[in-house]
C-alpha cells in the first residue's frame, strides 16, 4: 500500500515538473489556461475561504504540526516498547517510501497551486517594454532620477529629520492600502487581480533575514510574509512585491516593477519614498558592478536622511548574515534556474531596466496628440 502511494505521488510530482519543463518560458498556453484561467479561480476561492482567517495560516499550520507530533508521541508511549523489533532494512524502506510520498506531494501541489505561473509570459513582454541591459551611463541616470524622487518624497514625510525614520512613518493600514494600489496597477496593465492576497508580518522578526530574505510568498498557504524587522522605508515596497507574487507574478523583476508602480502613485510620502529608495539601491548596486567610483559618488550625493535610513537597514540585515543565508542564496539560485528563470537571482536586477523602459513608454504615450 505504501509503495503504491509513493509511486503515485512520485509520478504526479514528476508529471508536474515535466509539464513545467515542457511548457518552457513565456508560454502562451500557461498564460491563457493557468495564469488567466485556473489560477484566477483558485485565487478567488482561496481568499474567500482560508484567506479570511484572522490568524496567519503559517501559525495554524505550525500549531497543527506540533499537535500532531504530540499525539503521535503520546500514542507511541501508550503502546510501550514493541516486543519484536522491525528489521532495519524494512524500516529504511518504509522511511524512503514516506520521503518519496511527501516529496511528490510537495512538488505536485507547488505547481498546481502557483508554480505554473513561472511559465507565463514575462511581465515586460506583456507590457511591451524593451528592457535591454543598461549601460553605466544609463544606470547613472536612473540612480540620479531615483535619488531625486526618493528625496522629494522623504522630505514630505511629517516628522522626518536627518535621522533614520522610526515606526511613526508607517501607516497602520499599509497592507490594505498596498493591496488597493497594486490591484489598480494590475488591472490598468491588463493583468487579472482576483481575491485579496494577504501579506502578514513574520515573527520572530529576524528569522526570515537569517535565510537572506526580506519577504516570502508561500504557495501552500496562499499568503506571503515580510520580515518583522524591515525598516519603515523598506516595508511598503517589499509588501507590494510579495503581494504581486500572490497575484501570480513570479518574475522577480516584474514583481519589482509592479510594486514600484503601485508605490509610486501613492498619496502617502513614505510609500513613494519606499519605491524611490528601492530603485536607487538596485540601480547603484548594478552601477557598482560597472564603476565603483561612480556608485560611491552617487552615495555621497544622497541627502543625510536617506543615508541614515540605508545605513540603518544595512546594519539590521547584517545582524543575520551567515552560513544559513549563503546556503539559502545558492538553493534559491538553483530553484529559479530550474523554473525557467535562467538569470537566477540576477533577475531581480531586471527591475531597473524595466522601470527605465516603462518611463520611456509612459513619456511617449503622454506626448501623443
Q: How many CB atoms lie within 10 A of CB 304?
A: 10
pLDDT attached to residue 47: 95
pLDDT over 90 percentage in the chain: 60
**Count H helices, E strands: the chain?**
16, 3
Distance CA(34)–CA(13), nearest Å, equals 17
Whether 142 has a pLDDT exceeding 60, the answer reads yes
Torsion angle (degrees, nearest 10) of CA 35, 41, 46, 52? 110
Assess contact for 169 and 154: CB atoms under 8 A: no
pLDDT over 70 percentage in the chain: 91
SS3 state at 160: coil
Whether 103 has a pLDDT exceeding 80, the answer reads yes
Task: Say what the pTM is.
Answer: 0.90
The angle that helices 292-300 and 269-290 make with each other, rounded to 10 degrees, is: 150
pLDDT by residue (tens digit) across 69-89? 888 787 777 776 655 555 666
pLDDT attached to residue 340: 63
Assess contact for 206 and 320: CB atoms under 8 A: yes
Helix or strand holding residue 300 (H, E): helix 292-300
pLDDT by residue (tens digit) across 269-282? 999 999 999 999 99
Amino acid at each position: 500500500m505504501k509503495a503504491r502511494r509513493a509511486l503515485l505521488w512520485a509520478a504526479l510530482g514528476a508529471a508536474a515538473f515535466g509539464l513545467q519543463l515542457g511548457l518552457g518560458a513565456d508560454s502562451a498556453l500557461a498564460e491563457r489556461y493557468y495564469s488567466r484561467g485556473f489560477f484566477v479561480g483558485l485565487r478567488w476561492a482561496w481568499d474567500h475561504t482560508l484567506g479570511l482567517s484572522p490568524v496567519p495560516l503559517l501559525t495554524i499550520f505550525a500549531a497543527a504540526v506540533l499537535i500532531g507530533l504530540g499525539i503521535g508521541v503520546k500514542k507511541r508511549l501508550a503502546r510501550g516498547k514493541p516486543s519484536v523489533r522491525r528489521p532495519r532494512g524494512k524500516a529504511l524502506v518504509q522511511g524512503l517510501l514516506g520521503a518519496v510520498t511527501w516529496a511528490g506531494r510537495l512538488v505536485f501541489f507547488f505547481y498546481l497551486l502557483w508554480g505554473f505561473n513561472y511559465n507565463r509570459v514575462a511581465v515586460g513582454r506583456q507590457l511591451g517594454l524593451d528592457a535591454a541591459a543598461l549601460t553605466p551611463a544609463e544606470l547613472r541616470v536612473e540612480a540620479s532620477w531615483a535619488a531625486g524622487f526618493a528625496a522629494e518624497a522623504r522630505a514630505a514625510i511629517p516628522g522626518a529629520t536627518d535621522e533614520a525614520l522610526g515606526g511613526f512613518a508607517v501607516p497602520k493600514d499599509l497592507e490594505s492600502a498596498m493591496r488597493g494600489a497594486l490591484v489598480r496597477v494590475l488591472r490598468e496593465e491588463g493583468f487579472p487581480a482576483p481575491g485579496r492576497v494577504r501579506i502578514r508580518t513574520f515573527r520572530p522578526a529576524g528569522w526570515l533575514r537569517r535565510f537572506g530574505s526580506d519577504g516570502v510568498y508561500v504557495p501552500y498557504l496562499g499568503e506571503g510574509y515580510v520580515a518583522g524587522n524591515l525598516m519603515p522605508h523598506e516595508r511598503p515596497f517589499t509588501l507590494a512585491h510579495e503581494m504581486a507574487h500572490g497575484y501570480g507574478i513570479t518574475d522577480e523583476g516584474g514583481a519589482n516593477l509592479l510594486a514600484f508602480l503601485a508605490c509610486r502613485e501613492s498619496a502617502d510620502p513614505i510609500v513613494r519614498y519606499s519605491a524611490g529608495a528601492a530603485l536607487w539601491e538596485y540601480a547603484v548596486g548594478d552601477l557598482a558592478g560597472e564603476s565603483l567610483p561612480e556608485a560611491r559618488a552617487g552615495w555621497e550625493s544622497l541627502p543625510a536622511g536617506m543615508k541614515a535610513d540605508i545605513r540603518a537597514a544595512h546594519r539590521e540585515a547584517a545582524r543575520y548574515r551567515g552560513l544559513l543565508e549563503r546556503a539559502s542564496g545558492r538553493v534559491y539560485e538553483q530553484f529559479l534556474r530550474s523554473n525557467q528563470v535562467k538569470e537566477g537571482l540576477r533577475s531581480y536586477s531586471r527591475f531597473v531596466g524595466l522601470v527605465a523602459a516603462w518611463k520611456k513608454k509612459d513619456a511617449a504615450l503622454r506626448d501623443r496628440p
